[in-house]
Amino acid sequence: MCTNCLHVVPTQAVNQTDDSLYINCGGGDTVFGGKEFEADSATSNYYSAPRKNWAYSCSGDFGSKTYDSSDYIKNVDCGVCDSAATQLYNSTRLCPLSLTYYGFCLFKGNYTVKLYFAETVYQSDKDYSNLGKRVFDVYIQGKRALKDFNIKEMASGTNKAWSQDFPAYVGDDQLLTIHFFRAGKGSSRFFNSPAALSLNGPLVSGISVTANFKVGGKGLSSSQIAGITAGSVFASLLLSAYMWKMGLLQQSDLNDKTIKVPGERFTPKEIIDATRKFSPKMKIGGGRFGIVYEAELPNKRKLAVMKISPQSKQQGKDELQGEIPKLKSLKHENLVQLWDGYSNKDLHLLVYKYMEKGSLQRALFEPNSTTELDWKARFDICLGIARGLKYLHEEKRFKIVHGNIEPSNIMLDNSLTAKLSAFGLATLFDEEDPFMTIEAKESRVYMAPEYLMGKAITFKADVYSFGVVLLEIVSGTVSAEYTPNQEAKFLLDKAAVLNDKGRIIELVDQKLESNYDKRQALIVLHLAMKCVNPSPTLRPKMSEVISVLVGEKRIDEISEGDASSVNIGGLYGAVSRVLEI
């Protein structure tokens, strides 16, 4: 709360800063245009200025494996080299999803809000980041002032200053809010893309707020004083509410609740601390519903902790606590065991058994992985994934659509047994519009065409995703490869072409050389093509898939359709245009 407001008495005038506010976003104290801009160089998700006259909150994850807290601010030596503007425009604040500034204790009345921008992040041609597209919306006092705002377009390039004035009215609460929000548009971080593209959220260089009226005179009337005092109390309560939301006042809850794992109990705070407060360096997997972190506790015990994405729909978060007992009851050799969870306010955690080898994504595609996957390991992983899905689809009283089958959600234990994670979340968090949750292009590749086109997710959508993963496992190739200024390459397109020519065996990973079972490889590849049939009704059930993998049935005995007779490449080519949005 603003102390200036609290200390008002009839014989005192309010400090002149209560009718103005100047913030150098991401930088230190500076003077620009004759005004003193306050420093704003914190790297936390929430910050309150020393004088309590303003604060900011930031939410979301950048989605990069390399980003750290310093990525919330960026400073360049001479991006915008105008001597008068250098100190303001060359420092910026970034936020992955939602950035809100709060001005407290302002006089009631009309103001001019000036926002300063310069694109100093997407500006290098060496790492192709200059091809990045940053798009976000700006709201002032809850009203949208800018829609689909692109700094580079408005300023006609990178490292160029752009500013604009906006009217704003501050009411009896004496509170001003300026909200920057990324609505899932613009560039996204994808596999093997420049790391800078993960820094794709809202960006702002400076904020100035000036009153359109004069404040002065010999004193304030009793009604003005009463209004200021009431507004101060309201601002204090609002600030406390946002501090609670950002977790700064939730310590008692985080210390009092209990998360149970076999033989031990931990508080949510202990779990959070064990992930190093969700450090990107502790990330071991995840998908469109959240990120999975390694948690190493003081006694050296390790757990896997999924932090549900802040972008997931609120209704699902509200229902999560009630679903945890049901999800804990799911026990199968090919599922990661869920031990417990925590769900409160904007923090939602699921605690799983730790898998020593990490994700299939890491084992298959990360160059620094030490996990070697020979043919036997790959075939067993395919069979394990199928058995896990059969259990979810066909063996429980309550049937479960996984809805997020991709290598980052398939974990491996020490013996390389495949185990599905993040099961049971699709019914909680799926949106009517899949693009609300499937923002990353690499996640869209695994989704069935009918789902990407807006239809309800079904068991057969899981089968489709399973088919894409099979192709990746056999080929050792990512399902989609995006290169700046080039057409994207899709593994499924290549598989369809080779399948039509009778040469699908050429997809087998060259790293295996001749050390693989050709018969098994052909079975897996042809099964994959069955699973990615454009028609959901012609995809096999997982029990049928298993019967083929274990040699009980032939492929031509398990479904009515023949994937080779369908122009999969043509349909997927159409869908690929959706994937590149």
The binding site for ATP comprises 307
> Residue 408 gets which letter from DSSP?
G
Tokens 């994700």 map to which residue?
Answer: 359
| 267 vs 246: CA distance, rounded Å | 18
Pull the structure tokens for residue 220. 């304030």
Q: Are 166 and 115 in contact (CB under 8 A)?
A: yes
- Give the closest residue to 359 by CA, choosing from 391, 381, 383: 381
C-alpha dist (Å) from residue 351 to 137, 202, 563: 35, 31, 39
- Give the closest residue to 449 by CA, choosing from 312, 309, 364, 567: 567
| 135 vs 438: CA distance, rounded Å | 17
Dihedral, CA of residue 101, residue 107, residue 112 and residue 113, to nearest 10: -10
Count the Cβ atoms, other than its own, within 10 Å of residue 189. Answer: 22
Q: Are 181 and 166 in contact (CB under 8 A)?
A: no
| 421 vs 289: CA distance, rounded Å | 11
Residue type, 89: Y
Paired residues of 166 in beta bridges: 113
- Give the closest residue to 389 by CA, choosing from 316, 462, 461: 462
- Give the closest residue to 558 by CA, choosing from 524, 520, 527, 518: 527
Q: Are 47 and 263 in contact (CB under 8 A)?
A: no
Q: Are 106 and 215 in contact (CB under 8 A)?
A: no
Dihedral, CA of residue 117, residue 120, residue 125 and residue 130, to nearest 10: -40
Tokens 């998700």 map to which residue?
Answer: 45
